[in-house]
Chain A
Amino acid sequence: MIPERYCITIKSGNRSIVKCDDFGVGWEKINFLFGESGIGKSLLCKAVYGLLDRDELDIAVNGETYEKHCSDTLTNDIKRSGFFVFQEPSSHFNPLLRIREQLSEGSLSRRQVLDDSVRRLFENSDDKAIQKILDLYPKPFRPSGGEKQRMLLAMAFKKIDSFLESKKEDRNAVFVFDEPTGSLDNNYRNLFLSLLLEKYAQKPFTALFITHDYSIISRIHTHHKNLLSHVCFKELSRKTDTLVELHDFSSVEYLKWLDASRPPRYEQPSRQKPVLSAQANFSIFGRSYTICKDEARTIPARLTIGKGEMVYIKAASGVGKTTLAKIIMGLYRAQRFSMTLSGIDATHETPNSVWAKRIWGKKAGMVFQHADEALDLAITIRETFQGLPLAHKLNSDDIKNALAQLFDRESLTDAFLKRKVAYLSGGQKQRLNLLRTLILNTDLIILDEPLNGLDFLGVKRVLGMLEEKRRAGSSILLISHNEEIFDSLIDRERIYYLA
């Protein structure tokens, strides 16, 4: 039987990475684990599961060496009957094996490759289309991120089906899902949740669901109320730099906050020219896109953002929202594309020098999705703000004042400014990623998944700061899959759809 609490310490050399004295799992329950990115959720789950490399890390579980923990009967049972779905599906496929082969190796070899679970997860495709995907080698763009994610989930469901069919009473089956909905759009996310809870209802097992997607809470409260007593919402939060604690997360508080959120009130339409006006149709990489005003995506419309407006672009995962953002920022050149940005006319032929000298960091700025890739992890927090095209060089106080918008003032010491970005948690990196662009005070700010990696407190702070920026006159273009949150904060007139 799985212990109620694990005491886990993970170090690398002399450096402590994470320590948790009370990592507890709701036995035979669906555990949803929230917490800011980089706090240690995945590491702690991997430690319990026995997946960490003891050559690279120094790990102790319940006072025992990791070698002892891994050779423990319980840990071996967990590995044998459970499954672990990892983050970032792209890097978790062997590039030299077809998807079909990867769905039938090891302990999955006894299951049929194309079974009901796979069909359910690919409900919009017939068997022929699914077979085509199964015969692919996993490459960067084909299958898509969403398809790869669903294939990984299919592996988990095969193990769950084996568990359901097993006549043995196996109470040590643990299924861990690490950010399983990151690459899925809302439709497939809901499908996956339904399928998981359906299987659970047949025969309870222990599931650990690591996620930042708070809209799952609404989904469960609305569509799976009957299983609420079998669901735990937990959050991992930081006590000190490396010590974290696990506590209950109040789903009710979240729902109340969501209910209370309202879109901002705009003044009378301004007579000023819009900050951004971009044409509705464009094509790039052999695909054509249309920006529409209606949800049915039938009425093309110019993308227009006025001064002090917050506009939201919606589209399914992988459709091209980030591509559009990069076209607006001049990083990609679409065919036959034109727009006006703060009085500067830009087309696909506008030379790089115009973008570099007049637009980037002056008229427009963009916050990229993944803070780990967008920031230079090898420099310090102070150095992150150097080299920016600001009117005057920032001193320590200026930087601290800027950081205070999203970080606790008490933590903003000179030592903190000298800390390398690599040593920040995921949530801290995301906040730094946002602040680096927001400090430029550009006319237009494009935000690609601004709530990535943040815990609930971080989400509230960022949204508050964005509202302040908007009121101060900045125009904001939002791209996010957190539709539930942004639908309540942005009025319908300022939502666009990408087809």
Chain B
Amino acid sequence: MKSKLLVHGASILFVSLTLLIALAWIGSRSGVTEASVRSTLAAASFADLSNPFQKALFSDAMNIFYPGQFDKNKAEVSHLADAQEKALRDKLENSSEKEGLTLGAWTRILGMYIKFIIVYVLVMLLTYYGVQTLGAWRFCRKKSHDEQGAGSFPTMVLKSLKKAALFIATFILFCPAYVIAYSLRTELNTDTVFFMIVLCVISNGLLMVYSNKFFAFLTAESRKGYVETALAKNLKSSYSQRTPDGISYRALIAPIKRFNGHVFDAIFRNARGQYLSTIKEQASFLISGMIITEMALNLHGYLSYELFRQMLYGNAAIVIVMILGIYYLVKATEIFTDFLVYREERKYEN
């Protein structure tokens, strides 16, 4: 664990230093940039080319100094007039958007960052539960063979309906968040924190991908030798939800899952140990999903949309601070996961 912490620490130090140096450099350059912009405008500031009289005067002066190229001179004057107009327009448009790292900016960013973390933590907890529940349910359903057997017409219709419902649910779970959000925008207010949490959990394929991984862990564990020994010791081995010695729905959906006296208890606990180490990957996937969702839906007051806006207006200092914040969140998750895995390993050490 110490060596891992050392690596994390070195990484945090390196990235923080690099970005802070970049921040300082940008701060010193912004004066230069503004000055150079002003000097460019000043070059043509003796003539206001939006004024027709001054424009004509300027054209005449050009024709005197550069005779024999009437058309070229006319094009140059026109070009200069357009440039002046654009520069003025840009200045007007962006003047309110250009901002540095003021106290107000810091407060605003901090608020959004805290909101981002809260949503992130809640979604991680919900997906942690959802992934294990879905994975375990799928595993038990596969092992139970409950659905095999009599092929009467009502049963077949029911099976087909179940399959169709499952397909639609899978389709929704795989939808990118912005597709779901835009579909429901006319009916619901999609800018709320609650909707954001629900969207992050059910979209972008997060639940599907990781419940699938968990299912793969369960399947791999079920093939291991200790399961055979457990069967030789006559532990319960039915996965049916309909029999008393099987696995009940209640046990499957419980937040803390226990399957006492059943072979599945060992399988589940061992699989969960493996799943812990994939939380880093899941967190990274989730953060990407949240950023995409906030940016794509233009959610005002959310960190990612604000990052997106600041990138658009070229406020590099604010962008760097936000990226640093997101980096720290990723790192905190990595450290926390490493700690969880370490603690779990220590529990079973001799």
**Which residues of A come within 8 Å of B, CB atoms?**
51, 53, 55-56, 79-80, 83-86, 88, 91-97, 102, 105-108, 136-137, 139, 142, 152, 155
Contacts and interface: CB of A to CB of B under 8 A. Distances in A.
A51 B350 contact: no
Contacts, number: 66
B228 A86 contact: yes
If over half of A's interface residues share one DSSP class (helix, strand or loop), that class is named, otherwise mixed; here it is: loop
B71 interface: no
B348 A84 contact: no
Interface of B: 142-143, 223-226, 228-235, 261, 266, 269-270, 273, 348-350
A105 B235 contact: yes
B231 A142 contact: no
Given A51-B231, A95-B270, A105-B235, A88 B348 contact: no
Given A91-B224, A91-B225, A96 B230 contact: no
Given A93-B225, A105-B233, 19 more contacts: A51-B228, A51-B232, A79-B234, A84-B228, A86-B225, A86-B228, A86-B229, A92-B225, A94-B226, A95-B226, A96-B348, A106-B235, A107-B233, A107-B234, A137-B349, A139-B349, A142-B350, A152-B229, A155-B232
Contacts of B229: 86, 92-94, 102, 152, 155
A436 B231 CA distance: 39
Contacts of B226: 91-95
A94 B348 contact: no
A12 to B, nearest CB: 13
A95 B231 CA distance: 16
A123 B228 CA distance: 28
A97 B270 CA distance: 10
Contacts of A85: 232
Contacts of A95: 226, 270, 348
Contact of A106 (B233, B273, B349): B233
A88 B225 contact: yes
Contacts of A88: 225
Contacts of B261: 106
A97 B267 CA distance: 12
A33 B223 CA distance: 25
Nearest to B348: A137
B232 A83 contact: yes
Contacts of A53: 223
A80 B348 contact: no
A97 B234 contact: no
B270 A94 contact: yes
B273 A155 contact: no
A55 B143 contact: yes
Contacts of B230: 94, 105-106
Nearest to A143: B350
Contacts of A137: 348-350
Nearest to A84: B232
B219 to A, nearest CB: 10
A254 B233 CA distance: 36
B347 to A, nearest CB: 8
A92 B225 CA distance: 4
B50 to A, nearest CB: 76
A254 B234 CA distance: 39
Contacts of A93: 225-226, 229
A96 B228 contact: no
A96 B270 contact: yes
A107 B261 CA distance: 10
Contacts of B143: 55
Contacts of B234: 79-80, 106-107
A331 B231 CA distance: 39
Contact of B266 (A84, A86, A94, A108): A94
B226 to A, nearest CB: 4
Nearest to A92: B225
Nearest to A80: B234
A86 B232 CA distance: 9
A105 B225 CA distance: 16
A90 to B, nearest CB: 8
Q: Which of B142, B273, B348 has the most CB of A within 10 A?
A: B348
Q: Which of A88, A105, A139, A152 has the most CB of B within 10 A?
A: A105
Contacts of A105: 230, 233, 235
Contacts of A106: 230, 233-235, 261
B257 to A, nearest CB: 14
Contacts of B225: 86, 88, 91-93
Q: Which of B231, B232, B348, B350 has the most CB of A within 10 A?
A: B232
A142 B350 CA distance: 8
Given A88-B225, A94-B226, A96-B270, A155 B233 contact: yes
11 contacts: A51-B228, A85-B232, A91-B225, A93-B225, A93-B226, A94-B270, A96-B348, A105-B233, A105-B235, A106-B235, A155-B233
A202 to B, nearest CB: 22
A65 to B, nearest CB: 12
Nearest to B143: A55
A52 to B, nearest CB: 10
A461 B224 CA distance: 35
A155 B230 CA distance: 11
A197 B337 CA distance: 52
A102 B234 CA distance: 12
A55 B143 CA distance: 8
Contacts of B235: 105-106
Nearest to A85: B232
Nearest to B272: A96
Contact of B350 (A84, A139, A155): A139
Nearest to A87: B225
A230 to B, nearest CB: 24
Contacts of A136: 350
Nearest to A50: B231
Contacts of B231: 51
Contacts of B228: 51, 84, 86, 92
A318 to B, nearest CB: 17
